[in-house]
Amino acid sequence: MKTKILSIITLFLMTLSMSAQIDRTIQPKPGPAPKINIGKPETFELKNGLKVLVVENHILPRVSATLTINNNLIFEGDKAGVSGLTGSLLGTGTNKINKDSFDEEVDYLGANINFSSQSASMRSLSKYFPRVLELMADAALHPVFTQEEFDKESTKLIESLKIGEKSVSNIANRVENALAYGKNHPYGEFTSPKSVKNVNLNDVKNFYSTYFKPNNAYLVIVGDVNLKEVKKLVKKGFAKWQKGTLPTYTIPDVNNVAKTEIDFVDMPHAVQSNVAMVNSTNLKMSSPDYFAVKLANYILGGGGEARLFLNLREDKGYTYGAYSSISSDEKTSALFSASAQVRNMVTDSSAVEFVKEIKKIRDTKVTDEELKNAKAAYVGSFVRNVEKPATIARYALNIRRNNLPENFYETYLQNINAVTVADIQRVAQKYLSADHARIIVVGKALDVLPNLEKLPYKINYFDKEANKTSKPDLSKPIPAGVTKQTVLNNYFNAIGGVDKIKSIKSTLVTYEASAMGNTIQSTEKRTADKYANETSMGGNVMAKVIMTKDGVTMNKQPLPAAMAKDMISGLGTFLEMGLLQNENSKLTGIEPIDGKDTYVITTKGDVVSTSIYFDVKTSLKVRESQTVSMGGRTQNQAANFSDYKEFNGIMFAGVKTAKVGPQTVTFKLLNAKVNEGVTDVDFQ
Amino acid sequence: MRKTFFLSFLTLLLSLGTFAQKVSFEEYNLSNGLHVILHQDNTAPVVTTSVMYHVGSKNEVVGRTGFAHFFEHLLFEGTKNIKRGDWFKIVSANGGTNNANTTQDRTYYYEVFPSNNLKLGLWMESERMMHPIINQIGVDTQNEVVKEEKRLRVDNSPYGQWTSQVFKNLFKKHPYHWVTIGSMADLDAATLEEFRAFNKKFYLPNNAVLVVSGDFELASTKKLVKAYFEPIPAGPKVVQSNIKEEPITKEIKTTYYDSNIQIPAVFTVYRTPAMTTRDARILDMISDILSGGKSSRLYKKLVDKDKKALQIAAFNYSLEDYGAYIVLALPLGKTSLDELVNDMNKEIVKLQSNLISERELQKLRNKFENKFVNSNASVEGIANSLARFHLLYGDANLINTEINIYNSVTREEIRDVAKKYLNPNQRLVLDYLPKKDKE
C-alpha cells in the first residue's frame, strides 16, 4: 500500500516537471543512477567434482545449459586437429541412440545441442528441457566413435580448412598467434590439412578419454527451471561420470622480440592489408592492474570513440574500423593487439599511426575527460548487462575459473572508478609495447612493400603458415604480346597518333614552377638529333644544357664523354623516340606507382641509367627516373607526369612534379609548340 | 518402446496449446505523422530508443546507388546541437551503446542506455531527425570509410560477392538488382546537394517509426517524446514505388570468379513474393525442412549420407517487394556443381510431389515456437521487431501473432508453394568459382 502511494506521488511530481519546455540546445543530463542487483546463482557440486551453477529466470519459457571443462591448455603438435575432430564426433551416436535418431529428436523438439572437444551446450523450450539435457548428457558422456563418422568428419575438416585459406583476416589471425606465442605453444599452433591427416580414430578416442573428465568441469543452467528439479536431472545425467588423472603439461614461455619489427605475409590478391601491432604480456583478471589496463585499452582502441578509430577512420578514412584489444589469461601470457584492415595504399601510413598512438598513450597522460568517458562506458556496459540471466551465470563462472575474490563484481564499479590518469600511463607502459612489438602485415606485397621498406623497421617475411621465407618477387610478369615497341606505340597513339608524332620536326615546351620564393622556368627544345634545355630562376638563366650526337655541354662546358654517351640516347623530337631506336632500352617489367600498374622501360648506361614508366591502362608516361653514378657517388632524380593537355593536336603532361632536395616542386606546362620556335641557333 | 511413450506424451503436451507470451505495447501517431511505439519492461534498468526510416537501397535511382547506406554513416556526423565527432563520445560517456544498419527496404538507428539516460536517447534521435549537419567534410570522410567497408566485407572477403551476383541476375527492373552498399563510382559522383535532397525526401517523421523499449515510465515518456519529436516538421508523403518484374520462365545461368576462395559454391535462386505474404512464410518453413538442423532433408542427404557437400543451406531472403529463395551448396571432393544442383532439385521435387509427414509438420511447429520465444528475448530485439513489423508489414502486433500464421500452415500448402515457386525454369543458377592466381 505504502509503495503505491509513493509511486503516485512520484508520478505526480514527474508530470509537473515534464510540462516544462525542453531546451534542445542542451544535452540532457542523466537522471539518478538506476539501482542494480547483482544476482547470484544457486550452486551445488556432484561427488565427481562437477560444479553446477543454476540461474533461475522465468520470464521466457526456455532454458540453456552449458558444460565447460576448464582443463590446462593442450598442445596437439603434429596431430593438431584432434581436438576439433573429437568435438565434431561428439553427438554422432551413443550406445542408447544412433546418430540419425539423435539428430531427428533434437530437431523435432526444436532444440539445439552443440559440442566441442571440451564442452557441450544446449538450448530448448523449458517444457522439453529434461529430455534435451538427457540427450546432451548421454551424447557427451557415452559417445561411440566410429570409423565411418571419423572419415567423414576428417574429410570435411580438411576441405573446410580451404575456405579460409585465401581470407586475409583469417591468415592474419593465424600468423599473429603463431608469431606472438610461437608454434610450439597451444595458442600458436594451428590445424592444417597435413596435421589432420596424422590423426586417426584412436587419437580421437584417446583425446576424449584423457581430457573429457569432470575434475575441472562446470555445468551452467540458465532459464525457466527450478533448482530441485535441476538437481534431480543433473544427478541422473552426470553422477556416473568418472573422475580421472589429467596429464601434466608445462606451457612454453612466451617472449617478445628484442626490437620492433615488421612481419610480412604476401597475399597477392588482397585489396586490403591487415595491419596488427602485437605484443604478449602478462595480465590476469586477478591482477590489481586489471581495471586500469582495460580502461587504457578502451581509451586507445575500445570502440567508435577511441583514439585509433577517431584517427584512422574518422580523421583519415583509412579503414572501416581500427581497434585494440588485450586479453587476460590465467594459464599463460595474454596478448595485446591493435589492428585494422586498411586499403593497400595506406598500409605503411597505418603502421606509422599505430606506433604513434601506442607511443602517445605510453608517453603522455590521457585527459581527465577521456578517462571519465571510458569509465562511464564501462559502468554503462556493466549496468546494461548485469541483470541478464546469462551475465549472472558468466560472472559466477569467471570468479571460479579465474580465482577471483567472491566480491569481484560487487566491487567492480568501485574499482573502475578508482583508476587515475597516472594509473593509465603506468599500465600502458607496462602492458603495451612500442619497442618490442611485432607489426604484422598481411597484404599484397606488390602494392605495399615498397612503402613499408621505407619505415625504420626490419622486415621479416613469412608464408601463410608463419614459416620464415624470402622477400616476395615484386615484378609482375609482362603479358604475352607486350613489347617495348607496343608500349611506346601505344604511348604515341595516346598523345596524338604514331604517324603524326613521327612526322614532327621539332618540339618546344616550357614549364614553370615556384620554389623558394622564386619563379623557375624550364624550356626544352628538341629536334630529331638535337636537344637544348634552359633553366632560369627569377628571369636569370641558371643552367643551359645542349646535347647533339657529338657531345653534351652544360653552360658551354663539355660533360665527361662516358656520361655524354649515355645521355645522347635520349635525343629525338620526343625522349621516347630515342628509346625506340636505342637497343639498350628494354621493357623490364610492370611496377605499381600510386596503386596503378605501369610498364617500365629501362636504359642501363655506364654512368646514367633511366627508367620511364607508362601507365598500363592509359598508356601515358607517368614517371621518369634517372640514376647517375660517377666517382663512387650515386644520385637519383625522378619526375612524375600528369594532367595531360592538348597543344596543337598533341598531348603534353600539364603537370610535372619533381623532388628538389627535401621539397616537392610542381611544374606547370606554360606552353608547348610543334614545328615552330626552334632554330639551329638554339643548339649552339 | 520407451521412445514411443515419450513421443505420445509430447503430443499430449502440445495439444494443450503453445505458451502465450505476449509483448505488450502502446502505439500512436504524433501530429507530424511520426509513429510511436512504447514497450515497457521494467525488469532491468535498460532502455532502447530506436528509429526506423522507411528508406533503403530500393529508394535509390540508377547512377546514384548506395545513398541509403551512405546515410547510415552520414547521420552520425553531427547535428545542429551535436558537434561533429561527438556522437559516439556522448553515447559511451553516458554508458550507452549504439549502431545502425541498412537493408534494401529500411534503415535502422538505435541506442541502448542505462534507463536514467532515456531523455538523452530521445534527444539524440530527435536531433538526427530534425537537423542533421550534412557537409562536404562529412561526405568526404564517410566516402572513404564506406569504400573500406566494401573492401572489407565484399572485395576482400571469401564469397563476398554472392549477394550482388544473385540480385543482379534475379532482378532486371526492380531496384533490388543492386546491393545496399551501392556503387562507389556513384558515391564519388554524387554532389553535396544530392545528398541533402535525399535527406529531405526520406528522413522525415512521417516516414519513420520511433520505438522506446525497456525500463521507463509511461506518462512522462510520452511527454518527452512529444516535446522532442513533435516540433520536427513533416514532409511530403513518401511514395514507395511499385515496380513489377516479368516472371522468370527460363533458367538463367551465370558464373562468377572470386579470388578469395578455393572451394566453389553453387546457388540456385528463385524469385518469390513479398515478405508480407503467407507464401513467403511458407517458404520460411520449407527452408527448415530442407536445411534446418542435422535431420533436415538436404543436410542428411548431401552432407551426411552421400558426402557430396561440405555445406548446404536453404533460406528465404525475404524483402518488402519480393524475395529471393536461395538453395546453396559447397561441394565436397570431386562432386560437380551440376550434380549438386540436380540433387538439390530432387529434394524440392519430393516436396512438390509428396506431402510432408504429420510428424515433420509438428517438428516445424516446434522449431518455429522455439524461434518465436527466442526472438523476443531482449528489449533491443523487441524494439527492432516492433519497428519492422509496423513499418514493413503494417502491423506491429505481428510480434505476437505471426506465430499463429506459421502454426496454421498446412502440409498441402507447403507442397503447393514448392510447386508454385521452386521450379527449374523459374530459377537462377550461379556457379561461384575460385579465380585462379595469375602466376
Determine how many CB atoms are found less than 10 A away from the CB of residue B61: 11
- Among residues A628, A629, A569, the alpha carbon closest in space to that of A603 is found at A569
Q: For residue B191, what are the contacts with CB-CB under 8 A and spacing of at least 6?
A: none
Mutation for B interface: A271, A367, A392, most B CBs within 10 A: A271
Q: What pLDDT is recorded for position B134?
A: 96
Q: What pLDDT is recorded for position A520?
A: 86
Q: Looking at the partner chain, which of A32, A111, A343 has a beta carbon nearest the beta carbon of B116? A: A32
Residue A27: closest C-alpha in chain B = B120
Query: pLDDT tens-digit profile of A44-96?
Result: 999 999 999 999 999 899 999 999 999 999 999 999 999 999 999 999 999 99
CB distance B151 to A341 below 8 Å: yes
Phi-psi region of A619 (alpha: psi -120 to 50; beta: other; left: phi over 0): left
DSSP 8-state secondary structure symbol assigned to residue A472: P
Q: What pLDDT is recorded for position A352?
A: 97
Grid cell locating B348: 524440392
Q: What pLDDT is recorded for position B20?
A: 47
CB distance B28 to B36 below 8 Å: yes
Report how far residue A488's alpha carbon sits from residue A177's, in angstroms, rounded to the nearest whole number. Answer: 49
Interface touch B43/A59, C-beta < 8 Å: yes
- Chain B residues inside the 8 Å CB shell of A342: 148
Domains annotated on chain B, with CATH: 26-229 (3.30.830.10), 252-434 (3.30.830.10)
B208-214 vs B35-40, strand pairing mode: parallel
CB distance B58 to B411 below 8 Å: no
Query: pLDDT tens-digit profile of A357-379?
Result: 999 999 999 999 999 999 999 99
Report how far residue B110's alpha carbon sits from residue B115's, in angstroms, rounded to the nearest whole number. Answer: 14
Q: What pLDDT is recorded for position B421?
A: 98
pLDDT band for A8, please (50, 70, 90 cuts): very low
Q: What pLDDT is recorded for position B237?
A: 96
CB distance A40 to B97 below 8 Å: no
Query: pLDDT tens-digit profile of B172-193?
Result: 999 999 999 999 999 999 999 9
pLDDT band for B16, please (50, 70, 90 cuts): very low
Is the Cα torsion angle A198, A202, A207, A210 positive or negative in sign? Answer: negative
Q: Please report which helix (H) or strand (E) contains residue A340, including its range.
A: strand A334-343
Query: pLDDT tens-digit profile of A141-163?
Result: 999 999 999 999 999 999 999 88
Residue B46: closest C-alpha in chain A = A384
> Residue A12 above 60 pLDDT?
no
Report how far residue A628's alpha carbon sits from residue A566's, in angstroms, rounded to the nearest whole number. Answer: 10
Report how far residue A139's alpha carbon sits from residue A144's, in angstroms, rounded to the nearest whole number. Answer: 9
Q: How many residues does chain A have?
A: 684
Q: Does A164 touch chain B (CB under 8 A)?
A: yes
Q: What pLDDT is recorded for position B5?
A: 40
Interface touch A384/B97, C-beta < 8 Å: yes
- C-beta pairs of A477-482 under 8 Å, 24+ apart in sequence: A477/A590, A477/B438, A477/B439, A478/A587, A478/A589, A478/A590, A478/A599, A482/A587, A482/A599
Q: For residue A129, what are the contacts with CB-CB under 8 A and spacing of at least 6?
A: A63, A65, A223, A224, A225, A233
Report how far residue A121's alpha carbon sits from residue A113's, in angstroms, rounded to the nearest whole number. Answer: 6
Would you say the ipTM is above 0.90? no
Interface touch B260/A372, C-beta < 8 Å: no
Interface touch A313/B362, C-beta < 8 Å: no
- Among residues B144, B153, B99, B129, the alpha carbon closest in space to that of B33 is found at B129
> Residue B70 above 50 pLDDT?
yes
> Residue A2 above 80 pLDDT?
no
Residue A7: closest C-alpha in chain B = B217
- Chain B residues inside the 8 Å CB shell of A152: 304, 307
Q: What percent of chain B has pLDDT over 90?
A: 85
Interface touch B294/A125, C-beta < 8 Å: no
- Chain B residues inside the 8 Å CB shell of A315: 141
Q: Does A524 touch chain B (CB under 8 A)?
A: no
DSSP 8-state secondary structure symbol assigned to residue B85: T
Interface touch A127/B13, C-beta < 8 Å: yes
Q: What is the Rg, in whole angstroms, of the alpha carbon atoms belonging to chain A? A: 36
> Residue B13 above 80 pLDDT?
no
Amino acid identity of residue B227, one-letter, is A
- Among residues A339, A278, A277, the alpha carbon closest in space to that of A306 is found at A339
Interface touch B293/A103, C-beta < 8 Å: yes
Report helix, strand and coil shares of chain A as percent, to nearest 5.
Answer: 35, 30, 35
Section B238-253 average pLDDT: 94
Q: What percent of chain A has pLDDT over 90?
A: 69
Q: For residue A85, what are the contacts with CB-CB under 8 A and spacing of at least 6?
A: A150, A153, A154, A157, A196, A199, A204
Amino acid identity of residue A96, one-letter, is K
CB distance B37 to B396 below 8 Å: yes
Q: Please report which helix (H) or strand (E) contains residue B408, including its range.
A: helix B398-408
Determine how many CB atoms are found less than 10 A away from the CB of residue A645: 13
Is the Cα torsion angle A120, A125, A130, A135 positive or negative in sign? Answer: negative
Q: Which residues between 347 and 406 in chain A have a beta carbon less than 8 angstroms from any beta carbon of chain B?
A: 372-373, 376-377, 379-381, 383-384, 387-388
- Among residues B413, B428, B322, the alpha carbon closest in space to that of B364 is found at B413
Q: For residue A579, what are the contacts with CB-CB under 8 A and spacing of at least 6?
A: A484, A488, A569, A570, A585, A601, A603, A612
Section B137-163 average pLDDT: 89
Grid cell locating B170: 534475379
CA distance B250 to chain A (A): 32
- Chain B residues inside the 8 Å CB shell of A148: none
Report how far residue A366's alpha carbon sits from residue B163's, in angstroms, rounded to the nearest whole number. Answer: 44
pLDDT band for B437, please (50, 70, 90 cuts): low
Query: pLDDT tens-digit profile of A453-484?
Result: 999 999 999 999 999 999 998 877 788 889 99
> Residue A652 above 90 pLDDT?
yes
CB distance A528 to A515 below 8 Å: no
Q: For residue B272, what are the contacts with CB-CB under 8 A and spacing of at least 6?
A: B279, B280, B283, B316, B318, B322, B323, B324, B325, B421
CB distance B150 to A51 below 8 Å: no
Q: What pLDDT is recorded for position A16?
A: 42
Q: What pLDDT is recorded for position A1?
A: 34
Report how far residue A119's alpha carbon sits from residue A380's, in angstroms, rounded to the nearest whole number. Answer: 31
Residue A663 buriedness (CB in 10 A; 0-12 / 13-18 / 19+)? exposed
Section B4-28 average pLDDT: 56
Report how far residue B386's alpha carbon sits from residue B305's, in angstroms, rounded to the nearest whole number. Answer: 42
At residue A571's C-alpha, the angle toward residues A600 and A514, to 5°, is 75
pLDDT band for A491, please (50, 70, 90 cuts): very high
Interface touch A320/B149, C-beta < 8 Å: yes
Grid cell locating B218: 509511461
Domains annotated on chain A, with CATH: 42-238 (3.30.830.10), 261-469 (3.30.830.10), 484-683 (2.50.20)
Is the Cα torsion angle A138, A141, A142, A148 positive or negative in sign? Answer: positive
- Chain A residues inside the 8 Å CB shell of B141: 314-315, 317
> Residue A632 above 80 pLDDT?
no
Q: What pLDDT is recorded for position B176?
A: 97
Q: Please report which helix (H) or strand (E) contains residue A108, including its range.
A: helix A99-108
CA distance A45 to chain B (A): 29
> Residue A9 above 50 pLDDT?
no
Interface touch B85/A310, C-beta < 8 Å: yes
B427-434 vs B252-258, strand pairing mode: parallel
pTM of the model: 0.78
CA distance B353 to chain A (A): 23
Q: What pLDDT is recorded for position A662?
A: 64
H helix runs in A306-367, sequence order: 307-308, 347-363
- Chain B residues inside the 8 Å CB shell of A59: 43
Place of cell 573492401: B151
Residue A419 buriedness (CB in 10 A; 0-12 / 13-18 / 19+)? buried
CA distances from B201 to A260, B36, B188, B240 (A): 53, 20, 21, 12
| Greater model confidence, A149 or B378 | A149
> Residue B17 above 70 pLDDT?
no
Report how far residue A366's alpha carbon sits from residue A378's, in angstroms, rounded to the nearest whole number. Answer: 17
Interface touch A124/B143, C-beta < 8 Å: no
Q: What pLDDT is recorded for position A5?
A: 39
Section A329-348 average pLDDT: 95
Q: What pLDDT is recorded for position B153?
A: 84
Residue B27 buriedness (CB in 10 A; 0-12 / 13-18 / 19+)? middle
> Residue A310 above 80 pLDDT?
yes
Amino acid identity of residue A552, one-letter, is V
Count of A-B CB contacts under 8 Å: 247
CA distance B122 to chain A (A): 9
